[in-house]
């Protein structure tokens, strides 16, 4: 076991967090990240492989006596069928699931029917494969349920952006159009048709919790919780009322892959045992019995702790077959159990013998993204050149100040151009503060975030998800021109 080599497959911050977890083990000599990013080159014991070609990775793992392959990203799991291909090549030391065992994530419609069929608590829902039928149902729902709202979800994988939380009939009808007609969340060149079907579910109100587990197909072990904030902007941010924003994002504060993640979740202790007994263990046990597919590796349940009868009740909104991003950046640093030993036990089917221990500290993963591209000084039209992540954004911008940061930083969208670190994506860095409380961890992350700069850098300030949508001019009473003028005046403060 000493001198072990590990191969992480992925290119984001989650994959750097995984590499960092393995590298902390004294059993591990080298961690390779493929294709990785610039941050993969700055971690202790870690090297970067500049390829995502699966055949090349299989050859590398065999030639270099790699002990464990850990697949962090959904794309190689789902599209590349990477676990299947490693197994077909005679290499079975892969943390991840064969492609057929991923349907709980890859089809939200299938998953809803599965949960409903087996009494796993979920919101009220209806699946549709025809946009007109979905619109009729939504119109009837709003007519019969005044004060209620819906969530419209694309069936397939959309990088965390295909779930549209609606605040009105108008928004719900627009959501169906965006998913099923305009196909905003499809990736046709990769064979994914996420917009062929939608789930329309009754919108719950409460507190979201990401609940993680590890399993070897027999034992199911608790693997941490996180609170994940996906909305792009803080409530009341000046951009929300500007015309350029509405033209780019409609009347939605858009979902992202994640803007802030904190761990542990404040309700972890209260709901840990209940969630394991009523949701996590039965889901994975019944799934294997019904489908015949052995589910191994990591998975997480997106839960809503909804208020019902004066009590909070956990209900499943979604299941994902991997570590989250940025949730992995907040949970993985807290795991004190030797991560190599943990995954080795999982792959040997001996997870039952492992106790997973967590540090008592709080973590606060703050995501720095490529934000709106500000027009030239003095320019007063009503749009920016680029709306910023999760819309179109500039890249290739030099990143400065990381040498002054004294907390964990996992890279998401970075690349080295000679000796200059530059941005390559919408999510650029995940700055992870720690502390004895959530507020201390938040202060640590924000203090270090202020030391970093690239043109267009933006991050959220609130760590409570704003309730509902925004109504651009109905709430303010301003004209769009006045809203833009006020937002422009406030821009320097953000």
Q: Could you identify the residue written with the tokens 């589910």?
A: 295
Residue of 421 and 484 predicted with greater confidence: 421
The CATH 3.30.1490.20 domain(s) of the chain lie at 124-203
- Model pTM? 0.88
Confidence class for position 403, pLDDT limits 50, 70, 90 = very high
Asked if 154 and 160 count as a contact pair (C-beta separation under 8 A), the reply is no
Measured between alpha carbons, how far is 342 from 201 in angstroms, rounded to an integer?
37
Q: Look at residue 156 in the predicted model and tell me its pLDDT.
A: 83
**Tens digits of per-residue pLDDT, 173-230?**
999 999 999 888 775 433 457 789 999 999 988 889 999 999 999 999 999 999 999 8
**Tens digits of per-residue pLDDT, 70-83?**
998 888 887 779 99
- Give the chain's mean pLDDT: 87
How far is CA 175 from its chain centroid? 20
Q: Look at residue 375 in the predicted model and tell me its pLDDT.
A: 58
The CATH 3.40.50.20 domain(s) of the chain lie at 4-99
The CATH 3.30.470.20 domain(s) of the chain lie at 206-494
Q: Please provide the distance, in angstroms rounded to a whole number, between the alpha carbons at the two ends of the chain.
A: 50
Measured between alpha carbons, how far is 173 from 427 in angstroms, rounded to an integer?
29
Percentages helix, strand, coil for the chain, rounded to the nearest 5?
A: 35, 25, 35
pLDDT beyond 90 at 447: yes
Q: At 471, list the tokens.
A: 């109504």
Q: DSSP letter at 378? A: T
Measured between alpha carbons, how far is 58 from 72 in angstroms, rounded to an integer?
16
Superfamily, domain 124-203: ATP-grasp fold, A domain (3.30.1490.20)
Fold classification of 4-99 (topology level): Rossmann fold (3.40.50)
Q: Does domain 206-494 have CATH number 3.30.470.20?
A: yes
Confidence class for position 490, pLDDT limits 50, 70, 90 = very low
Measured between alpha carbons, how far is 421 from 397 in angstroms, rounded to an integer?
8
């Amino acid at each position: 076991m000493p001198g072990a080599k590990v191969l992480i497959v992925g290119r984001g911050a989650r994959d750097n967090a995984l590499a960092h977890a393995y590298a902390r083990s004294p059993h591990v000599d080298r961690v390779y990240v493929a294709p990785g990013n610039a941050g993969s080159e700055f971690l202790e014991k870690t090297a970067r492989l500049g390829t995502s070609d699966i055949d090349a990775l299989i050859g590398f793992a065999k030639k270099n006596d790699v002990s464990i392959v850990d697949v962090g990203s959904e794309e190689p799991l789902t599209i590349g069928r990477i676990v299947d291909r490693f197994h077909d090549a005679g290499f079975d030391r892969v943390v991840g699931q064969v492609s057929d065992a991923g349907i709980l994530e890859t089809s939200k419609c299938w998953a809803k029917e599965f949960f409903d069929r087996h009494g796993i608590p979920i919101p009220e829902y209806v699946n549709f494969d025809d946009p007109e039928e979905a619109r009729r149902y939504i119109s009837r729902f709003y007519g019969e349920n005044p004060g209620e709202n819906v969530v419209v979800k694309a069936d397939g994988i959309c990088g965390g952006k295909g779930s549209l939380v609606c605040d009105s009939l108008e928004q719900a009808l627009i959501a169906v159009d965006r998913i099923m007609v305009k196909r905003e969340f499809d990736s046709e060149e990769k064979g994914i048709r996420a917009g062929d079907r939608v789930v329309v579910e009754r919108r719950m109100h409460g507190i979201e919790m990401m609940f993680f587990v590890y399993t070897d197909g027999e034992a199911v072990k608790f693997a941490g919780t996180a609170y994940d904030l996906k909305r792009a902007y803080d409530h009341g941010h000046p951009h929300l009322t500007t015309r350029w924003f509405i033209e780019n994002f409609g009347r939605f504060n858009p979902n992202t892959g994640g803007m802030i993640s904190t761990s542990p979740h404040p309700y972890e202790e209260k709901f840990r045992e209940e969630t394991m007994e009523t949701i996590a263990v039965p889901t994975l046990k019944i799934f294997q019995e019904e489908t015949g597919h052995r589910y191994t590796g990591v998975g997480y349940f997106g839960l809503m702790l909804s208020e019902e009868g004066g009590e909070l009740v956990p209900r499943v909104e979604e299941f994902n077959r991997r570590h989250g991003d940025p949730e992995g950046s907040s949970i993985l640093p807290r795991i004190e159990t030797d991560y190599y030993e943990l995954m080795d036990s999982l792959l040997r089917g001996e997870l039952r013998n492992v106790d997973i221990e967590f540090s008592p500290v709080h973590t606060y993963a703050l995501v720095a993204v490529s934000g709106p591209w500000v027009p030239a000084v003095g320019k007063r039209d009503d749009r920016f050149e680029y709306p910023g992540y999760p819309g179109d954004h500039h890249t290739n911008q030099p990143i400065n100040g990381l040498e002054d940061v004294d907390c964990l930083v996992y890279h998401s969208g970075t690349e080295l151009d000679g000796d200059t670190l530059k941005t390559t994506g919408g999510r650029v860095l995940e700055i992870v503060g720690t502390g004895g409380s959530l507020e201390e961890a938040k202060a640590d992350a924000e203090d270090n975030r202020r030391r970093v700069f690239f043109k267009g850098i933006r991050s959220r300030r609130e760590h409570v998800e704003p309730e509902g949508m925004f109504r651009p001019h109905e709430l303010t009473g301003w004209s769009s021109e006045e809203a833009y003028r006020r937002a422009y005046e406030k821009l320097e403060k953000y």
